[in-house]
Amino acid sequence: MTNTSPPDDYPPAWMPYTVTLIRRLSESVDSEAVAPIEVWDGDSGGTRSSRTERNIVTTHAGRLLMLIRMAASFGPEERFQDRLLRPGGVTMWVGIKPRELSLIEYLLKHGVLPPDVQVYTRSPHRPSGPVLQLCKPDSQNTGEVSKAQQAAFENRISEALPLSAPILILLPDGLELSEPLQRILPDAERLAPINRIIMLVLICELYNVSDAPEREAVLRLLPDDAALAQLDHPSIVMALRASSAREAAHALQKMVLPARSMRQNGLTLEEIGGSSPAHRMAGDLAVDIQACKAGAACWSEVPRSLLLYGEPGTGKTVLAQAIARSADVEIVIASAGEWQSRGHLGDMLGAMLKTFSDAAARRPCIVFLDEIDSFGARDAKDSERNSNYRRQVINTLLREIDKFLALDGTILVGACNAVDTLDPAIIRPGRFDQIVELTRPPLAQIAHMLRQVFPGAADVTPLARLCAGRTPAEIDATLRAARAAARRDGVPFDADLFAAQLGGGRPNHPAFERRIALHEAGHTLVAARLLGAAAVERVVMSAEMGQTFSRSAIREGTAQDFEIELTILLAGRAAERLVLGDVGAGSGGGPGSDLERATRLQLFFDRQAGLGIHGPAWLGAPDPARLPEAEQARLRAKLLQFEQQAQDLLAPYRELLVRLSEALLLQREMTAEELMPWLGQISDRG
């Protein structure tokens, strides 16, 4: 975005200090960094009859840019020296990317500090002249700072503090000092981010621009401050290869990649339909945003953050976009993977900051963070390098979320598959106020979706039943495949073609589908038997899988609560064994499967709840695959015990179990209301 407002006062107050620093740099041992160069004028004869002399080789423009940023942050020179070089003084700079640490050290030694000032990590006992103690962390070539490197960094600070020589501490983004040091050190001073005036000074210095109209023309072409602050070094250097000041400013404008922001794209919440808790929260959020925009509510008085979790393909991104569309605000979409693709740690953190600054500039605006569980947790068991990288990333993310939500007109929506893997600090109230699961859509919502696709269809219910149990992503993929088939065959796309596509490539396995139906009917009947018929909300199945939705049995956290929950989790296996004589693999699989949930719940009961075999002891969450054989054997015995309890509960209702499974096989989905006549045939809870 280009700022066309009138230029700010020029030159800035810190300009004389900038000139002084550039002169000192030019007189340093690396004088070739500021040697003039000539630029071809591009004439056909290849002569240099028209030349533009530039003061800094573009490959060293990064040095000059940092020099200008330092002057803008801490100038004029008298103020800088008084604060940085006063005896006994301690100064801490922040707002530094890890890769900029060495550059700042270089510039301190070759231009920023007076020539007689010596820079040491720790002052000698008898220095020959003025000394500045510079404390900065070492970093790896990725920009990461390991725990060992951070410990060494803090040790340098501790060793420098007793000495009288002034201290400068460089604290890069993503790194936090230990609490004891935070308590005693002064407030940090922030290095000025790249802005329009800093960039204008750089371009004018590079291209010898002294004419006021030309300077104003360049300023009008520059991107806004928020966009410039997020440009990386290669982008800036590439732009500064241009042959004129205006072309350089224009190139910078092109380097500012627009955030993935949209206002008119996607469906509205009304078009999506849906009445799940996630859809209701999304609707409430959109209404609150509209009220704040209209002045009927204050931004600080309404929830402005929502975390959606659930399996892939359930429509979390679509729902976030629908909130933005319904509330008529922009949405900036980002993900951990997208940030990481920018490069090493410093590049990733820069991309993260750009996301939030872009959204802040577009207020009212939603930031949608996808794949937020990719960050993990800072206390996750991992290698030291990975743990340290994760800690720096999460620390920066937390700060950016807090800064973003402190502004009026900001909304945060996140999405993840597994909420229990997130760092607790990410999901605390104040960051994500509302956390809700987005499940596979019920039949009514699928029918709502299909009516928009096939507005001329008399009844989409049969089609919806064929889609039951599928995610919106799976349904959408089938629709695309059906349209492609129609185009290839030269026939109209209609509901019949879609129905055929739903069955295409999926062999009909009636025995497998019957097993799925029996499995889900088993969960349903045992939940109703132990918790009451009203506890079961919905049961759904497809040709590949099934799901039963019922309230959790764990209310008070008693041993009986856990036993009931475990019995319900294993009731699907019990139903298969009771009717079919054996058990299929449907209860196993990955995270979220019956066996995975039952295994972790039993281990939690034993090792963390203080209720199981280990008594009142907290032993932490184990890796099930690494349990000692004796504990594995005991775990298997306990799960078989609960499966047998479920089978004993189902045995008197074997006929009802079969009939309910046949009804589910036909209907594909049964709501609480549709289940009630069936579940009413079960004796009272107990």
Residue-wise over 379-396: b if at least 16 C-beta within 10 A, else e?
Answer: eeeeeeeebbbbbbbbbb
Give pLDDT < 50 ranges for the chain: 1-7, 29, 31-59, 259-264, 383, 505, 685-686
What pLDDT score does 359 carry? 87
pLDDT of residue 175: 81
Q: Which of 277, 356, 301, 292 is nearest to 328 (CA)?
A: 292
Contact 91, 136 (CB under 8 A): no
- Give first-to-last CA distance, the chain, whole Å: 66
In degrees rounded to 5, what are phi and psi of residue 45? -85, -10
Write the CB contacts of 344 (distance below 8 Å, at least 6 apart in sequence).
99, 141, 142, 143, 144
**Cα dihedral across residues 672, 677, 681, 685: positive or negative:** positive
**From residue 163, how far is each of 129, 133, 186 by CA, in Å?**
15, 9, 17
- From the list 449, 448, 458, the residue with the least C-alpha distance to 479 is 449
| Omega prior to 364 cis, within 30 of 0 | yes
Instruction: Give me the sheet containing 365-370, strands edge to edge.
Output: 261-262, 330-335, 365-370, 410-416, 305-309, 434-437
Residue 46: predicted pLDDT = 37
644 contact partners, CB below 8 Å, separation of at least 6: 574
The alpha carbons of the chain give a radius of gyration, in whole angstroms, of 32
- Asked if residue 269 lies in contact with residue 326, where contact means CB atoms within 8 angstroms, the answer is yes
